[in-house]
Amino acid sequence: MTKATSTILLVEDEKELADEIRRELERLGHRVRIVSVAEAADAARVGDAAMLIMDRMVYGEDTLKTLALLRAEGVKVPVLLISALASIDERVRGLKAGGDDYLTKPFAMAELTARVEAMLRRLDDVRTTKLRVGDLEMDLIEHTVHRGGTRIELLPREFKLLEYFLRHPGQVITRAMLLEDVWQYHFSLETNVVDVHISNLRKKIDPRDAPKSLIVNIRGAGFMLSADA
């Protein structure tokens, strides 16, 4: 990864929000530039962007057109869309036009940063057959999980949940990300169901005498599979 491509380009016409996003991402060690749609497109074409964060609508202009154009040209830069529109139709349209993820306003900054981190460190190696963190190992072919040599029996959904964490070690995973990617639920919940699923999973994968869980809570954001466990 060269220095030039480590820049995140942000296309957002609400200045205060753009500044907050920039500040938050910079705090996490990213380089951020707030740019216009045209600037973002040009930079993406020459490979001068680690990823794009684009508002769906900037100064009354639909950014989906530009995105679709970029994709048609074969530009592969990861794109996170931010939208004021919450309907499922809109999300589908955004993803069809070439967006990799879609976030609806209003969102917590933790939600945005978690998604950005996940996109930047996405493991696109589908040939991976084994995922490993510490002494936890998942075999994707055999569909088995072992921790420290002991076989752990998981329900299909628990397996998917753990797989998601193993694919994003050391990253903040929000509840919304789990709902969307593990359960394919594209709506917000007013209950703590996800936490219950996580706690059930912990009971299965953590040894009885473990001082702390492999999956830790991140206050105000979600969960993280601690890679150093």
Partner 1 sequence: MLDFLRSSAVRVALALGLATIVATTGVFALVYLQIRAADEKSNRVILEDEAAKSVNHTVEQLRSAFEVRLTHDLRRLDYAALFDADRKVMFGNIDAFPPIPLDGKSHFIAAFRVPGSENRTQPAIFVARPRPDGSIMLLGRSLLETFAFRRTVLTALATGLAPMLLLTLAIGAFFARRASRRLTAIHDTIARIMKGDMQLRLPVRAKPDAIDTISRDVNLMLDEIMRLLVQIKGVSDNIAHDLRSPLAVVHAQLERGLESTDNEELRAAARQALAHIDRAMLTVAALLRLADVEYDPKSNKFETIDLSAICTDLYEFYEPLAVSKSITMTLEVQSPVQIKGDGDLMREAVSNLIGNAIKFTPESGTVRVSVTQEEGRPVIRVSDNGIGVEPAERDKIFQRFYRSASGHRVPGSGLGLSIAAAIANLHDLDLRFEDNHPGARFEMTGRRKG
Contact between 96 and partner 1 per CB under 8 A: no
Q: Lay out the site mask for partner 1 across 100-129 (x = CB under 8 A, - = otherwise).
A: ----xxxxxxx-------------------
- Rounded to a whole number of angstroms, the minimum distance from the CB of residue 23 to partner 1 is 7
User: Which is nearest to 112 in space by CA: 211, 204, 8?
Assistant: 8
Contact of 161 with 211, CB cutoff 8 Å: no
SS3 57: strand
**Of 22 and 168, CB closest to partner 1:** 22
- Rounded to a whole number of angstroms, the minimum distance from the CB of residue 197 to partner 1 is 6
- Rounded to a whole number of angstroms, the minimum distance from the CB of residue 186 to partner 1 is 5
Q: Which of 4, 38, 46, 88 binds partner 1 (CB under 8 A)?
A: 88
Distance CA 119, CA 139 (A): 23
Distance CA 201, CA 193 (A): 12
Q: Which one-letter DSSP state was computed for residue 115? A: H
Contacts of 118 by beta carbon, 8 Å cutoff, 6+ apart = 101, 168, 171, 173, 177
Window 141 to 200, contacts with partner 1 (CB under 8 A): 157, 183, 185-193, 196-197, 199-200
- The residues of the shown chain that bind partner 1, judged by CB under 8 A, are 14, 16-17, 20-21, 23-24, 27, 84-90, 104-110, 157, 183, 185-193, 196-197, 199-200, 220
